[in-house]
Protein backbone atom coordinates (compact mmCIF):
# COMPACT_ATOMS: atom_id res chain seq x y z
CA UNK A 1 0.00 0.00 0.00
CA UNK A 2 1.37 3.41 -0.97
CA UNK A 3 1.68 6.11 1.62
CA UNK A 4 -0.32 9.30 0.98
CA UNK A 5 1.86 12.39 0.74
CA UNK A 6 0.63 15.90 1.32
CA UNK A 7 2.50 19.06 0.53
CA UNK A 8 2.79 21.37 3.52
CA UNK A 9 2.27 25.13 3.39
CA UNK A 10 3.34 27.55 6.13
CA UNK A 11 1.10 30.59 6.62
CA UNK A 12 3.16 33.24 8.43
CA UNK A 13 1.13 35.86 10.31
CA UNK A 14 1.02 38.16 13.31
CA UNK A 15 -1.97 39.90 14.86
CA UNK A 16 -3.69 42.19 12.38
CA UNK A 17 -3.68 40.02 9.24
CA UNK A 18 -6.58 40.50 6.84
CA UNK A 19 -8.88 37.57 7.65
CA UNK A 20 -10.00 36.66 4.12
CA UNK A 21 -6.40 36.80 2.86
CA UNK A 22 -5.65 33.84 5.12
CA UNK A 23 -8.95 31.96 5.09
CA UNK A 24 -9.62 32.19 1.34
CA UNK A 25 -6.27 30.74 0.21
CA UNK A 26 -6.13 28.32 3.13
CA UNK A 27 -9.55 26.88 2.25
CA UNK A 28 -8.44 26.51 -1.39
CA UNK A 29 -5.30 24.68 -0.28
CA UNK A 30 -7.14 22.38 2.12
CA UNK A 31 -9.75 21.69 -0.58
CA UNK A 32 -6.95 20.41 -2.83
CA UNK A 33 -5.48 18.23 -0.08
CA UNK A 34 -2.58 20.42 1.08
CA UNK A 35 -1.67 20.54 4.76
CA UNK A 36 -1.46 24.07 6.19
CA UNK A 37 0.04 25.45 9.39
CA UNK A 38 -0.52 28.90 10.82
CA UNK A 39 2.95 29.96 11.99
CA UNK A 40 3.34 32.94 14.30
CA UNK A 41 5.53 34.38 17.00
CA UNK A 42 2.31 34.50 19.03
CA UNK A 43 2.49 31.03 20.58
CA UNK A 44 -1.24 30.29 20.95
CA UNK A 45 -3.46 32.42 18.73
CA UNK A 46 -3.59 35.34 16.30
CA UNK A 47 -6.28 37.96 15.80
CA UNK A 48 -7.53 38.79 12.32
CA UNK A 49 -8.86 42.05 10.97
CA UNK A 50 -11.78 42.54 8.61
CA UNK A 51 -10.74 45.81 7.00
CA UNK A 52 -10.46 48.14 10.01
CA UNK A 53 -12.45 46.03 12.50
CA UNK A 54 -11.43 43.06 14.60
CA UNK A 55 -12.00 39.64 13.09
CA UNK A 56 -11.72 36.04 14.23
CA UNK A 57 -9.12 34.67 16.58
CA UNK A 58 -7.39 31.67 15.02
CA UNK A 59 -5.21 29.09 16.77
CA UNK A 60 -1.51 29.01 15.93
CA UNK A 61 -0.46 25.57 14.71
CA UNK A 62 3.29 26.05 15.03
CA UNK A 63 5.01 28.80 17.00
CA UNK A 64 7.64 30.58 14.90
CA UNK A 65 10.28 29.57 17.46
CA UNK A 66 9.71 25.91 16.46
CA UNK A 67 8.94 26.33 12.75
CA UNK A 68 11.58 25.14 10.30
CA UNK A 69 11.37 26.20 6.65
CA UNK A 70 12.71 22.80 5.56
CA UNK A 71 9.48 21.27 6.88
CA UNK A 72 7.38 23.15 4.33
CA UNK A 73 6.95 23.00 0.57
CA UNK A 74 5.63 26.57 0.21
CA UNK A 75 4.89 29.81 2.07
CA UNK A 76 1.77 32.02 2.15
CA UNK A 77 2.05 35.64 3.35
CA UNK A 78 -1.37 37.23 3.94
CA UNK A 79 -1.55 40.99 4.15
CA UNK A 80 -3.34 43.43 6.34
CA UNK A 81 -1.52 46.60 7.33
CA UNK A 82 -0.51 45.66 10.88
CA UNK A 83 0.52 42.05 10.19
CA UNK A 84 3.63 42.49 7.98
CA UNK A 85 4.65 45.63 9.85
CA UNK A 86 4.85 43.58 13.07
CA UNK A 87 6.54 40.60 11.39
CA UNK A 88 9.24 42.68 9.70
CA UNK A 89 10.55 43.66 13.16
CA UNK A 90 11.17 40.01 14.05
CA UNK A 91 14.49 38.77 12.70
CA UNK A 92 13.33 35.14 13.00
CA UNK A 93 10.34 35.86 10.73
CA UNK A 94 12.56 37.62 8.18
CA UNK A 95 15.00 34.68 8.16
CA UNK A 96 12.05 32.28 7.79
CA UNK A 97 10.88 34.10 4.64
CA UNK A 98 14.38 34.41 3.21
CA UNK A 99 14.92 30.65 3.61
CA UNK A 100 12.10 29.87 1.15
CA UNK A 101 13.77 31.98 -1.53
CA UNK A 102 17.17 30.48 -0.82
CA UNK A 103 15.67 26.98 -1.22
CA UNK A 104 13.70 28.13 -4.31
CA UNK A 105 10.38 27.09 -2.79
CA UNK A 106 7.14 28.79 -3.87
CA UNK A 107 6.07 31.91 -2.00
CA UNK A 108 2.79 33.80 -2.24
CA UNK A 109 1.98 37.28 -0.93
CA UNK A 110 -1.25 39.26 -0.91
CA UNK A 111 -1.92 42.98 -0.42
CA UNK A 112 0.63 44.26 2.15
CA UNK A 113 2.28 40.82 2.47
CA UNK A 114 5.14 41.83 0.13
CA UNK A 115 6.44 44.07 2.93
CA UNK A 116 8.04 40.89 4.27
CA UNK A 117 9.70 40.29 0.90
CA UNK A 118 11.10 43.82 0.96
CA UNK A 119 12.45 43.27 4.48
CA UNK A 120 13.95 39.91 3.49
CA UNK A 121 15.78 41.55 0.60
CA UNK A 122 14.53 39.09 -2.05
CA UNK A 123 12.81 41.33 -4.60
CA UNK A 124 15.65 42.68 -6.76
CA UNK A 125 14.90 41.87 -10.41
CA UNK A 126 11.42 40.48 -9.68
CA UNK A 127 8.02 41.54 -10.94
CA UNK A 128 5.02 41.59 -8.61
CA UNK A 129 1.90 43.36 -7.50
CA UNK A 130 0.56 44.45 -4.13
CA UNK A 131 -1.79 46.91 -2.54
CA UNK A 132 -0.98 50.15 -4.38
CA UNK A 133 0.18 52.01 -1.27
CA UNK A 134 3.42 49.98 -1.16
CA UNK A 135 4.31 50.13 -4.87
CA UNK A 136 7.05 52.73 -4.24
CA UNK A 137 8.56 50.52 -1.52
CA UNK A 138 8.57 47.58 -3.95
CA UNK A 139 10.23 49.68 -6.65
CA UNK A 140 12.80 50.93 -4.14
CA UNK A 141 13.56 47.28 -3.32
CA UNK A 142 14.56 46.74 -6.95
CA UNK A 143 11.40 45.09 -8.27
CA UNK A 144 8.98 46.05 -11.02
CA UNK A 145 5.49 46.75 -9.66
CA UNK A 146 2.52 46.08 -11.95
CA UNK A 147 -1.15 46.77 -11.38
CA UNK A 148 -2.76 43.40 -12.15
CA UNK A 149 -4.97 41.10 -10.05
CA UNK A 150 -2.26 38.44 -9.87
CA UNK A 151 1.36 38.29 -11.00
CA UNK A 152 3.52 35.18 -11.24
CA UNK A 153 7.30 35.59 -11.38
CA UNK A 154 8.94 32.18 -11.29
CA UNK A 155 7.72 30.67 -7.99
CA UNK A 156 6.51 33.99 -6.55
CA UNK A 157 2.76 34.67 -6.76
CA UNK A 158 1.45 38.07 -5.69
CA UNK A 159 -1.95 39.73 -5.59
CA UNK A 160 -3.34 43.20 -4.78
CA UNK A 161 -6.40 42.83 -2.56
CA UNK A 162 -9.18 40.55 -1.29
CA UNK A 163 -11.28 40.81 -4.46
CA UNK A 164 -8.35 39.28 -6.39
CA UNK A 165 -8.31 36.11 -4.25
CA UNK A 166 -10.08 33.83 -6.81
CA UNK A 167 -7.39 34.62 -9.42
CA UNK A 168 -4.70 34.42 -6.75
CA UNK A 169 -5.89 30.99 -5.57
CA UNK A 170 -5.91 29.61 -9.11
CA UNK A 171 -2.30 30.69 -9.74
CA UNK A 172 -1.16 29.68 -6.25
CA UNK A 173 -2.44 26.14 -6.76
CA UNK A 174 -0.84 25.96 -10.22
CA UNK A 175 2.55 27.15 -8.94
CA UNK A 176 2.47 24.94 -5.84
CA UNK A 177 2.25 22.01 -8.21
CA UNK A 178 0.54 18.64 -7.94
CA UNK A 179 -1.97 18.77 -5.18
CA UNK A 180 -1.69 17.10 -1.82
CA UNK A 181 -4.09 14.33 -2.85
CA UNK A 182 -1.44 12.61 -4.95
CA UNK A 183 -0.04 9.32 -3.72
CA UNK A 184 3.70 8.75 -3.44
Residue 3: what pLDDT? 52
Q: How confident is the model at residue 4 (pLDDT cuts 50, 70, 90)?
A: low
51 lies in some domain: yes
Distance CA 161, CA 112 (A): 9
pLDDT in tens, 63-122: 999 999 999 999 999 999 999 999 999 999 999 999 999 999 999 999 999 999 999 999
Residue 180: what pLDDT? 47
DSSP class of residue 179 equals -
44 lies in some domain: yes
Instruction: Name the burial class of residue 32, with classes exposed (0-12), middle (13-18) and buried (19+) by CB atoms within 10 angstroms of its CB.
Output: middle
Contact assessment for residue 150 and residue 174, using Cβ atoms and an 8 Å cutoff: no
CA neighbor of 118 nearest in space, from 86, 151, 100, 142: 142
Q: Considering its fold, how many domains does the chain have in total? A: 1
Average pLDDT over residues 50-56: 94
183 lies in some domain: no
Residue 179: what pLDDT? 66
182 lies in some domain: no
Q: Is the predicted pLDDT of residue 184 greater than 80, yes or no?
A: no
Q: Which residues are catalytic?
A: 111
Contact assessment for residue 56 and residue 26, using Cβ atoms and an 8 Å cutoff: no
CA neighbor of 38 nearest in space, from 48, 50, 49: 48
35 lies in some domain: yes
Q: What is the CATH number of the domain that holds 167?
A: 3.40.50.880
Cβ-proximal residues to 110 (8 Å cutoff; 6+ apart), any chain: 18, 21, 25, 77, 78, 79, 158, 159, 160, 161, 162, 164, 165, 168
Residue 6: what pLDDT? 87
Residue 173: what pLDDT? 96
Phi, psi of 71 (to 5 degrees): -85, 0
Average pLDDT over residues 165-178: 95
184 lies in some domain: no
Average pLDDT over residues 27-51: 96
Q: Is the predicted pLDDT of residue 183 greater than 90, yes or no?
A: no
Percent of the chain's residues with pLDDT above 70: 95
Around Cβ 52, how many Cβ atoms within 10 Å?
A: 6
Amino acid sequence: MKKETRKRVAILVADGFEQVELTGPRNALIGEGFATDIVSSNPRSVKAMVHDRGGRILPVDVPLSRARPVGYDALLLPGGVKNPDALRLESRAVRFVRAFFKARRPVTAICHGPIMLIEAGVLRGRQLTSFPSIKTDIRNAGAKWVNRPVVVDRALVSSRKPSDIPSFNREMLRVFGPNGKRKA
